[in-house]
Amino acid sequence: MTTVDRDKDQFGSNLDLIGRDKIDDLEAVLSFVGKYDVEGFHRVPDNCPAESIEVDQEQVVIANAEANPAQQQWDEAALAGTALEKWDDKRFIEFGIQNQNWLLSQFMHGEQGALLCTAKIVETVPWIDAKYYAATQVMDEARHVEVFSKYLDEKLSGHYPMNAHLGLLLDDIVADPRWDMTYLGMQIMVEGLALAAFGFIHMMTTEPLLKKLLRYVMADEARHVAFGVLSLQEYYKQLSAPELRERQEFAFEAAIRMKDRMAMQEVWERMEVPTADVVKIMRAAPEQDDFQILLFSKIVPNLKKLGLLDAADGWLRTKFTEMGAIAFEHLSDSTEEEDAFADGSPAERQVV
């Protein structure tokens, strides 16, 4: 078939459209024999180009430092006497590169845990509509695992194992047979923190590909967290005080596990920094604590909506007050903001 230039009101002839004047011209039909190139392929332009974005990790570290100077400052007094005192610029850039590798690795491991937990929810949740939704989330989580894995393999320079604190939390979530505990641990706690972390990194990074993929993952995660809140809200109204206290304790333990994982001990170990040096440096960096607390901005309002902050005489409220995260209770919960991240269409996601 050939394409010809013609006015919009002009119809093409048989010759223009099918390559012959007569529809029943058998000689023309039989003379048309398929041919392939010498390599044995039949190539057709699809006119759907994909955009390939290269990632220079060293330049990303430098650009991020320039864009976020307050996040890159080191306390010189804290570095005195530590291994970092002798680091040159190249060594600090390598630390930034390893930080990238570690962070995206933990994102990937978290999505792997979400994949397992969502598959479990399909089996254990007691009503059919929730099973249907969980089945769609399984596909979402599989896609997230794939995109973070490919980004690590093709754009960055190495994987890290699952952080030990994250591993303990995922073990507890997977091992608990109660469907609502899987919801609480994964949909509310892990994915709630992930949503805040993705938003923070999306804001801070200068790397365009990472910005794009985080934006689309955030759109999915916002729906997941919102559905978790809606699913648990009515169920928790019928639980006894001891049952609610058990879920409060589970939420507190999950919060501490997720806060502890941000110590990035695997990165410090790979950079051969002694633990005593790390302790000294981290104690002199209160902004790191501020960042860790900021990650609970999505979790606290959701726990409040579930009634867990104030159940059992406000035990969980007290714990989050001690952590310095209780101020987030007045922010919008995920059921009110799930559409805030839902922009873009699949046709716009053609990035590799």
Residue 129 maps to a domain: yes
Task: Mean pLDDT check: name the lowest of 32-41, 169-178, 239-248.
Answer: 32-41
Residue 19 maps to a domain: no
Asked if residue 325 lies in contact with residue 317, where contact means CB atoms within 8 angstroms, the answer is no
pLDDT digits (tens, 9 = 90+) for 40-55: 666 778 787 777 888 9
Query: Any idea what the CATH number is for the domain that residue 157 is in?
Result: 1.20.1260.10
Q: Tell me if residue 351 falls in helix, strand or coil.
A: strand
| Residues of the domain holding 110 | 57-348
Residue 52 maps to a domain: no
Flag whether pLDDT at 341 surpasses 60.
no
Mean pLDDT computed over 165-170: 94
HEC states along 26-91? HHHHHHCCCCCCCCCCCCCCCCCCCECCCCCHHHHHHHHHHHCHHHCCCCHHHHCCCHHHHCCHHH
Q: How many Cβ atoms are within 10 Å of 248's Cβ, its own excluded? A: 23
pLDDT digits (tens, 9 = 90+) for 174-194: 999 999 999 999 999 999 999
C-alpha–C-alpha distance, residues 199 and 291, integer Å:
12
Residue 106 maps to a domain: yes
CA angle at residue 184 from 178 to 187, to 5 degrees? Answer: 120
Asked if residue 273 lies in contact with residue 82, where contact means CB atoms within 8 angstroms, the answer is yes
pLDDT digits (tens, 9 = 90+) for 249-284: 999 999 999 989 888 999 999 999 999 999 999 888
pLDDT digits (tens, 9 = 90+) for 308-339: 999 988 999 999 999 888 999 888 777 665 55
Q: How many Cβ atoms are within 10 Å of 281's Cβ, its own excluded? A: 19
pLDDT digits (tens, 9 = 90+) for 211-237: 999 999 999 999 999 999 999 998 999
Mean pLDDT computed over 75-101: 93
Q: Which two tokens stand for residue 177?
A: 């047979």
Q: Which two tokens stand for residue 239?
A: 């639980």
Domain count for the chain: 1
**CA torsion 217→72→94→112, rounded to 10°?**
-20
Task: Mean pLDDT check: name the lowest of 7-11, 58-62, 201-205.
Answer: 7-11
Residue 181 maps to a domain: yes
The confidence score (pLDDT) of residue 36 equals: 62
Burial letters for 148-171: b for 16+ Cβ neighbours within 10 Å, e otherwise?
bbebbeebbeeebebbebbebbbe
Residue 30 maps to a domain: no
Mean pLDDT computed over 4-19: 75
Closest CA to 245 of 296, 302, 310, 183: 310
Radius of gyration of the chain (CA): 27
Residue 120 maps to a domain: yes
Residue 11 maps to a domain: no
Mean pLDDT computed over 285-310: 82
The confidence score (pLDDT) of residue 345 equals: 38
Q: Tell me if residue 252 falls in helix, strand or coil.
A: helix
The confidence score (pLDDT) of residue 28 equals: 85
